[in-house]
């Protein structure tokens, strides 16, 4: 341990020169946590194989305080994985050393920077170690005191205590100052300790610049048996540079060359040849999980009179998938008897995690599980995923392989009213880079699409319907991401009606009504909203007079807009039916009629185009 003061000095040196070279960066936020992270990395506590970052039993480190990235990279420079030339490329366009940690840097576990999310990711990694892989690795999360005001942090803390994650260690860098002044509790570390204990965590208070104290804290943390641990460190922002220490208005600012030289004089001689060593983890692999033999017929929902709600079909599909794929994990926000994730939880309780009504934490926890190689399917009402949009947005930057399932979408849910109606969910998930958005119309499509989601790498969203709906397709029907189904067509089609989910059933009713009057329409099931089946849409545009999209969703960001954008070079007119007013409670049929997305509205629209 005698080498730690000199290593800490070298870490500070790299923080200083990298931020000045960049001309920006959160230098003072990095300097306050130098001793905390230097001790973790080079004091014998972190077990990590630098030659194999993906080794399953490596300890995990998450900088939830992502703006302290100069410190993060400095640690790997001291470890010999970055040279001084590379450390000076901080924040440059061709450098992997981004302003906040990204997975372009090989030692980054997860992209961070939107504060409050890192502890939840750590919960996911700790759940994986304790309950799935059965490995002894620890997960360490560095938090800033500013982000402790985020509600998601406390969502993560209560869940970590609930699951007794003694393999999760948080470190709060209480440096008193945020971006614009003092944080919520300033240097009152007793308040943080009190709250941590109240949430079921072992709480350890230290001087964040006292190396022996920090060492003892990590030693104690590793010995706790039945609860997570929070190390609460009183630190000084800008520590090590006199004119920065505990000074406001330095957040996110780098030193100029003259200031850098002054800081380096204060720092003193630095041995740049010094290298810190990390301890290696035990050579252990994940437990060889054997899929249990399960009588699926005991658990699955059976169609009644050839009808089955797609939310119930999801429960069947994910349970069947779980019987074949041991990587599938299911999470739900305390509505599993409505999303029908409870079918899976009953059959495979060891791979189901109840996340309670804390959707932000659920999404970020799923990121942690996905980064550890699992395939999390996470479910709640489609409306409630909007609460976690920032977490979903950040998941894309970690290339998290998460499968979202939103039930109770649109006005067709009925009497529960607008607070429960997912009417913005398609727009939200369409906006995510490289996402897939799927909307099955029957039980067969649901099962096929769930399997396709599991095979697809990346974020995908399945939109399920509350109402019982008829089974349209045979079991042998094939589906694909980017596909569609033409349910009815002829050479005499005047209009093509494009629908999905509940509105497909309305389009089929409209088809049958119009057919009685010898009016032919084409009916297209747009089950893949993103990506679209452009070939089928272009064919319909060429072969009919007009296209009509019908969706149980608001106009903006819905699939009507997606179809119009895809066919922008086509001259065929495109009309859209969508929810265009604030909904209310009522019977599903009444609400769809009021929104003018039912069969009657479709018939009227088609007749107006004749």
Catalytic residues: 359
d(CA 31, CA 29): 6
Contact yes or no for 479/452 (Cβ under 8 A): yes
What would the two tokens of residue 219 be? 């030693």
In 192-295 the beta strands, taken as DSSP E runs, fall at 202-207, 229-234
Q: What are residue 279's DSSP bridge partners?
A: 47
DSSP 163: T
- Would you list the DSSP string of 556-589? TTSHHHHHHHHTTT--S-EEEEEE-S---SS-HH
DSSP 291: P
What residue has token string 């119930």? 312
What would the two tokens of residue 495 be? 């209009």
Residue 557, Ramachandran bin (φ over 0: left; ψ between -120 and 50: alpha; else beta)? left
Q: SS3 of 465, please?
A: coil
Closest CA to 429 of 443, 452, 409, 454: 409
- Would you list the DSSP string of 427-444? HHHHTSTT-EEE--SSHH
d(CA 480, CA 477): 10
Half-sphere exposure of 264 (CA within 13 A, CB side): 17
d(CA 352, CA 374): 12
The count of other CB atoms within 10 Å of the CB of residue 3 is 15
Sheet holding 485-488, edge to edge: 485-488, 521-525, 495-499, 546-554, 574-579
Contact yes or no for 330/341 (Cβ under 8 A): yes
Sheet holding 168-174, edge to edge: 60-63, 139-144, 168-174, 229-234, 202-207
Closest CA to 60 of 48, 77, 78: 48
What would the two tokens of residue 186 be? 């300033």
d(CA 546, CA 571): 9
Q: What are residue 549's DSSP bridge partners?
A: 498, 576
d(CA 165, CA 175): 26
> 439 exposed, middle or buried (CB, 10 Å; 0-12, 13-18, 19+)?
buried
Q: SS3 of 599, please?
A: helix
d(CA 502, CA 521): 18
What would the two tokens of residue 441 be? 């119309």
Number of residues assigned to the chain: 610
């Amino acid at each position: 341990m005698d080498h730690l003061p000199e290593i800490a000095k070298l870490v500070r040196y790299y923080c200083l020169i990298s931020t000045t070279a960049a001309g920006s960066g959160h230098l003072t936020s990095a300097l306050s946590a130098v001793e905390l992270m230097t001790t973790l990395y080079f004091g014998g506590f972190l077990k990590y194989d630098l030659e194999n970052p993906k080794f399953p039993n490596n300890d995990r480190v998450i900088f939830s305080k992502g703006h302290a990235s100069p410190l993060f990279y400095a640690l790997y420079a001291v470890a010999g994985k970055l040279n001084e030339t590379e450390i000076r490329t901080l924040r440059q366009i061709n450098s992997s050393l981004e302003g906040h940690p990204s997975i372009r840097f090989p030692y980054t576990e997860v992209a961070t920077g939107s504060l409050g999310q890192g502890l939840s990711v750590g919960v996911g990694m700790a759940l994986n170690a304790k309950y799935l892989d059965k490995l002894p690795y620890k997960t360490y999360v560095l938090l800033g005191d500013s982000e402790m005001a985020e509600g998601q942090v406390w969502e993560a803390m209560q869940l970590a205590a609930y699951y007794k994650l003694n393999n999760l260690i948080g470190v709060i860098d209480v440096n008193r100052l945020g971006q614009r002044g003092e944080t919520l509790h300033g240097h009152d570390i007793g308040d943080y300790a009190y709250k941590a204990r109240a949430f079921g965590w072992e709480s350890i208070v230290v001087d964040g610049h006292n190396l022996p104290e920090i060492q003892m804290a990590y030693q104690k943390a590793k010995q706790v048996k039945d609860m997570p641990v929070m190390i609460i460190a009183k630190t000084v922002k800008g520590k090590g540079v006199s004119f920065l220490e505990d000074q406001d208005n330095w957040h996110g600012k780098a030193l100029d060359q003259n200031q850098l030289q002054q800081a380096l004089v204060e720092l003193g001689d630095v041995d740049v040849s010094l290298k810190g060593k990390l301890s290696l983890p035990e050579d252990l692999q994940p437990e060889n999980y054997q899929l249990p033999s399960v009588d699926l017929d005991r658990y699955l929902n059976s169609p009644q009179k050839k009808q089955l709600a797609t939310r119930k079909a999801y429960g069947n599909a994910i349970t069947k998938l779980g019987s074949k794929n041991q990587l599938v994990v299911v999470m739900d926000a305390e509505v599993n008897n409505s999303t029908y994730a409870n079918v899976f939880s009953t059959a495979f309780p060891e791979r189901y995690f109840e996340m309670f009504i804390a959707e932000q934490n659920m999404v970020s926890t799923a990121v942690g599980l996905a980064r550890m190689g699992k395939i999390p399917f996470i479910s709640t009402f489609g409306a409630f995923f909007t609460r976690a949009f920032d977490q979903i947005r950040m998941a894309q930057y970690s290339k998290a392989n998460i499968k979202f399932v939103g039930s109770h979408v649109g006005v067709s849910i009925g009497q529960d009213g607008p607070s429960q109606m997912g009417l913005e969910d398609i727009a939200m998930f369409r906006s995510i880079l490289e996402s897939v958005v799927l909307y099955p119309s029957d039980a067969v499509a649901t099962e096929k699409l769930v399997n396709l989601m599991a095979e697809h790498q990346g974020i995908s969203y399945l939109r399920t319907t509350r109402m019982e709906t008829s089974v349209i397709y045979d079991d042998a029907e094939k589906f694909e991401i980017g596909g569609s189904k033409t349910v009815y067509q002829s050479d005499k089609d005047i209009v093509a009606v494009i629908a999905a989910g509940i509105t497909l059933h309305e389009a089929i009713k409209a088809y049958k009504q119009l057919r009685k009057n010898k009016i032919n329409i084409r009916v297209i099931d747009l089950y893949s909203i993103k990506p679209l089946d452009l070939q089928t849409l272009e064919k319909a545009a060429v072969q009919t007079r007009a296209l009509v999209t019908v969706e149980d969703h608001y106009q903006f960001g819905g699939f009507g807009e997606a179809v119009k954008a895809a066919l922008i070079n086509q001259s065929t007119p495109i009309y859209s039916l969508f929810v265009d007013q604030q909904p209310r409670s009522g019977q599903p049929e009444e609400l769809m009629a009021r929104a003018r997305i039912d069969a009657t509205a479709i018939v009227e629209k088609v007749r107006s185009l004749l």
